[in-house]
């Protein structure tokens, strides 16, 4: 058990000036289940991208440090090298072709060719790819892999229409079928599964580990980690926090390691803001949103006028779905009241008319017309809903120019002129344009999602300060962010979302452990702390 299979030796990686991994070293033993945990942006995916030699790593200058497999230095330049070395991964997004059978999917681009005289002749004449395939043998192999997972579905069933849990097993079976699989990485494998499916997956993981295959188990579910993992490694902000034996630790400690002490930083202002008497600006009841990968499954909260309400949680848990759903960008069900007025859902226009503005988390796809100028972007929504910036029904270039210049000055948008295409701006300045567009609407309720994602520190501070200022002028702000520190620094209350539901609402000065546990979906924080 103690033999090291894989070793990360001071692995570092930076994208341009942004260091995402700092000197990470840990090892994975043969036949163990090794849990890997960390917030979004902690460096888990970068680490895995390095392990699999993904093009994104090599096209950005590679990485520092080394990875050793069974004492040999690994030189992985592509996912196929990783495969050859016996390292396999099951991604969150399934790599399955629905119109193929289970066996065909397991053997995808690793098909077995028939050994026959005809094949020898045709391959000589027309090339290797004209060899016929040995479906019998492929089915047999697939059967064997499925048997190892104790899965008794017929190997020639089409993947189309299989329950998600089965698809996951097919993915794992594919990795098992690859010759010499030594290490299997599972990325949030239980996130999409029902409870019983998750249980059988965890059982299957144990069986595989018992066969000597090491498993790296990336998950946010602390309960599952403590249930199946042998050891756990915690990453935070690109740094290794600790690697511990699971039997020597508990969920509480892991949660604390994950969040760290950083929460209470840079919060100087308005600690005493109280909104208990203010009227309710936004109330949300039983909200369901069908945003892919960010489904909301029954959320309820209230925000008072002038308050900054934070929405946090891990990626894919549904926090982003809330604002998108309320704005009518994805199919939504539930009750939303704005300033006491019940609002119709799935009608973006009605929300905008009611004075609600939205700064999307997805600047390029939703937030901007990247081929158009700054001024066009800034005025567009307001022009459309309030018919502003129009003169005799036609666009009023002068009014637009003046307004855009004012906004550029107010928000310190760095650009050559107000006519510059937004696609050419840096991330931070693009974000400022998005905010400028929202402010031009003169909203009373503002949703901002991931306002500081991918932008530099200066712009970050400016945007957060701006939100504070707007709030003190009476605007109600609902800020959704993956960065807990940022939420804690300006929000008055923070709701933590896990698996599409509100786990709890915490004050910004709550302990990191509480945040960590809630992000893992543990509701009864007090109980957990006591036990």
Partner 1 sequence: MTEVVVEERFSLIKAFKKIPFSTKAVGALYLVILILGLVNGFSFSRLLSDSLHLFGVWALFSLANVPSIQAGTGPNFALPIGIVNGLLAMVLVLAAGFTGMGFIVVASLVAIIFGSASGFLYGKLMNAVKGSEMAIAPYTGFAITAVFGLVWLSIPIRHPNMIFFLGDGLRHQIPLDYFRAEFILANFLFFEIFGLEIRTGELIVVVVACVLMWLFFRSKMGLGITAVGRNPKFAKASGVNVDRSRVIANMISTAVAALGVIVYAQGFGFIQLYDFPMLLAFPAVACIVVGGASGQKANVRNVVIGTFLFQGLMAIALPVFTRVLAGGAGAGIVGPIRMAIQNGIILYALSRMSKGGK
Partner 2 sequence: MANNNIWNGEKIRTFLLDNIVMLVFLGFVVLGFVVSDTFTPSSFTNDILVRFFRNGVLVLALIIPVMAGLGLNFGIVVGAIAGVLSIIFVRYNYTLFPGLGGLLLCFAIATPIAILFGYLTGKLYNKTKGQEMIASLVVGFFAEGIYMIFILFVVGAIIPVRWGHRMVNPVPEGVRPMGIRSSFEMGLPAEEMTGRGMQDALPGMARALNNIWRMEFVYALAAVSVVMFIFLVVRRIIMKKNPGLLTIRNEPLWAFILKIALCGAVVAFSIYSSATIYYWYYILANTPDINRLDLLPGISNFAVEISRINNVPVVTGLVIAAVGLFTVYFTRTKLGQDCRSVGQNKHIATVSGIDVDRTRIIATIISTVLAAWGMIIFLQDMGHVSTYTVHRNIGFFSVAAILVGGATAAKASVKNAMIGLVLFHAMFIVSPAVGLFFFNDGNAGEYMRTFMVYGVIGVSLGLYVWKANKAAKDKERLR
Is 368 an interacting residue with respect to partner 1 (CB under 8 A)?
yes
Contact of residue 135 among partner 2, partner 1, none (CB under 5-8 Å per partner type):
partner 2
Q: Which is nearer to partner 1, 57 or 296 (CB)?
A: 296
**Radius of gyration over every alpha carbon of the chain, rounded to an integer in angstroms:** 26
Residue 201 binds which entry of partner 2, partner 1, none, CB below 5-8 Å type-dependent: none
Please identify, using beta-carbon distances, which residue of 90 and 296 lies nearer to partner 1. Answer: 296
Nearer CB in complex with partner 2: 288/453: 288
For the beta carbon of residue 90, count every other beta carbon within 10 angstroms.
20
> Which residues in the 310-349 window bind partner 1 by CB under 8 A?
327, 329, 348-349
Rounded to a whole number of angstroms, the minimum distance from the CB of residue 172 to partner 2 is 16
For residue 37, give Cα distances in angstroms to 106, 155, 173.
Answer: 28, 34, 24
CA dihedral sign, ordered 493, 499, 500, 504: negative
Residue (129 or 398) nearer to partner 2, CB: 129
Judged by CB under 8 A, the stretch of 70-78, 260-268, 335-343, 361-369 that binds partner 1 is 361-369
Q: Contact with partner 1 (CB under 8 A): which of 120, 395, 507, 524?
A: 395
Residue 384 binds to partner 1 (criterion: CB under 8 A): yes
Residue 186 or 445 having the CB closest to partner 1: 445
* Of 9, 27, 64, 100, the one binding partner 2 by CB under 8 A: 100
Pairing of strands 214-218, 33-37: parallel
Contacts of residue 196, Cβ cutoff 8 Å, sequence gap at least 6: none
Residue whose CB is less far from partner 2, 130 or 270: 130
Interface residue with partner 1, options 179, 272, 387, 473 (CB under 8 A): 387
Kindly state the number of chain residues that form the binding site for partner 2, as judged by CB under 8 A.
37
The Cα–Cα gap between 303 and 279 comes to: 9
Query: How many other CB atoms are there within 10 angstroms of residue 124's CB atom?
Result: 10
Shortest distance, position 372 Cβ to partner 1, whole Å:
7
Is position 385 an interface residue for partner 1 (rule: CB under 8 A)? yes
469, β-bridge pairs: none
Contact partner at residue 26 from partner 1, partner 2, none, CB < 5 to 8 Å by partner kind: none
The rounded distance, in Å, linking the Cα atoms of 333 and 345 is: 7
In angstroms, the CA 74 to CA 51 distance is 9
Say if CB 72 and CB 141 are below 8 A apart. Answer: no
Residues 6+ apart with CB under 8 A from 404: 374, 375, 378, 379, 418, 436
> In sequence order, what DSSP letters do the residues of 189-249 get, joined into one string?
TTTTS-HHHHHHHHHHHHHHHHTT-EEEEE-S-HHHHHHH-SEEEEEETTEEEEEEEGGG-
* Nearest partner of 429 among 447, 453, 455, 409, judged by Cα: 455
Block residue for tokens 């990470």: 24
Question: Would you count residue 120 as binding partner 2 (CB under 8 A)?
Answer: no
CA gap 475, 40 in Å, rounded: 29
Query: Taking contact as CB under 8 A, which single stretch among the options 122-130, 203-211, 403-411, 424-432 is the one that binds partner 2?
Result: 122-130
Q: Residue 174: name the closest of 93, 104, 81 by CA.
A: 104
Residue 399 sits in the site that holds partner 1 (CB under 8 A): no
Quick check: 369 binds partner 1 (CB under 8 A)? yes
Does position 100 interact with partner 1 (CB under 8 A)? The reply is no
Handedness of CA 315, 316, 322, 328 (dihedral sign): positive
Report, in Å, the least distance between residue 363 CB and partner 2.
21
Single residue of 45, 46, 49, 139 touching partner 2 by CB under 8 A: 139
| Shortest spacing between CB 135 and partner 2, in angstroms | 5
Q: What is the footprint of partner 2 within residues 314-343 (CB under 8 A)?
A: 330-333
* 82: phi then psi, degrees, rounded to nearest 5: -60, -45
Closest separation between CB of residue 67 and partner 2, Å? Answer: 21
Q: Which residues make up the interface to partner 2 (CB under 8 A)?
A: 79-80, 95-101, 103-104, 108-109, 111, 113, 127-133, 135-136, 139, 154-156, 288-292, 330-333
Q: Which residues make up the interface to partner 1 (CB under 8 A)?
A: 327, 329, 348-349, 352-353, 358, 360, 362, 365-372, 380-381, 383-385, 387, 390, 393-395
């Amino acid at each position: 058990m103690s033999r090291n299979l894989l070793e990360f030796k001071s692995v570092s990686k930076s994208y341009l000036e942004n260091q995402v991994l700092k000197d990470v070293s840990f090892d994975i033993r043969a036949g163990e289940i090794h849990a890997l945990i960390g917030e979004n942006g902690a460096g888990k995916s970068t680490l895995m991208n390095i392990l699999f030699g993904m093009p994104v790593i090599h096209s950005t200058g590679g990485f520092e440090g080394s990875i050793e497999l069974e004492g040999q230095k690994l030189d992985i330049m592509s996912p196929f090298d990783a495969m050859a070395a016996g390292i396999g991964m099951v991604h969150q997004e399934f790599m399955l072709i629905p119109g193929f059978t289970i066996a065909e999917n397991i053997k995808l681009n690793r098909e077995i060719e028939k050994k026959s005289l005809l094949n020898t002749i045709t391959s000589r004449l027309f090339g290797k790819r004209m060899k016929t395939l040995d479906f019998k043998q492929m089915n047999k192999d697939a059967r064997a892999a499925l048997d190892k997972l104790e899965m008794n579905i017929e190997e020639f069933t089409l993947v189309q229409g299989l329950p998600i849990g089965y698809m996951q097993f097919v993915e794992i079976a594919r990795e098992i079928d690859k010759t010499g699989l030594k290490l299997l990485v599972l990325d949030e494998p239980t996130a999409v599964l029902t409870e019983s499916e998750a249980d059988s997956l965890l059982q299957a993981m144990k069986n595989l580990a018992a066969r000597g295959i090491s498993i790296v188990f990336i998950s946010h579910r602390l309960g599952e980690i403590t249930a199946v993992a042998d050891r756990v490694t915690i990453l935070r902000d690109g740094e290794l926090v600790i690697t511990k034996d699971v039997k020597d630790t508990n969920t509480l400690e892991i949660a604390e390691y994950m969040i760290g002490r950083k929460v209470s930083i840079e919060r100087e202002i308005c600690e005493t803001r109280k909104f208990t008497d203010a009227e309710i600006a936004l109330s949300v009841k039983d909200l369901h949103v069908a945003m892919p990968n960010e489904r909301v499954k029954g959320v309820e909260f209230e925000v008072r006028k002038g308050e900054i309400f934070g929405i946090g949680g891990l990626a894919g848990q549904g926090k982003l779905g809330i604002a998108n759903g309320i704005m009518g960008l994805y199919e939504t069900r539930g009750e939303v009241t704005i300033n006491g007025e019940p609002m119709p859902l799935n009608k973006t226009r009605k929300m905008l008319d009611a004075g609600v503005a939205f700064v999307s988390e997805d600047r390029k796809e939703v937030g901007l017309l990247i081929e158009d100028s700054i001024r066009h972007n800034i005025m567009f929504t307001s022009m459309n809903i309030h018919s502003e910036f129009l003169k005799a029904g036609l666009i009023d270039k002068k009014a637009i120019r003046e307004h855009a210049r004012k906004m550029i000055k107010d928000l310190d948008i760095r650009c050559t002129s107000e006519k510059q295409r937004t696609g050419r701006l840096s991330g931070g300045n693009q974000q400022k344009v998005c905010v400028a567009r929202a402010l031009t609407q003169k909203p009373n309720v503002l949703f901002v999602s991931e306002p500081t994602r991918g932008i530099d520190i200066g712009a970050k501070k400016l945007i957060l300060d701006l939100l504070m200022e707007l709030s003190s002028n009476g605007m109600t702000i609902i800020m959704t962010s993956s960065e807990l520190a940022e939420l804690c620094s300006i929000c008055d209350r923070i709701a933590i979302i896990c698996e599409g539901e509100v786990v709890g609402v915490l004050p910004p000065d709550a302990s990191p452990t509480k945040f960590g546990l809630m992000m893992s979906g543990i509701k009864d924080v007090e109980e957990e702390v006591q036990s």
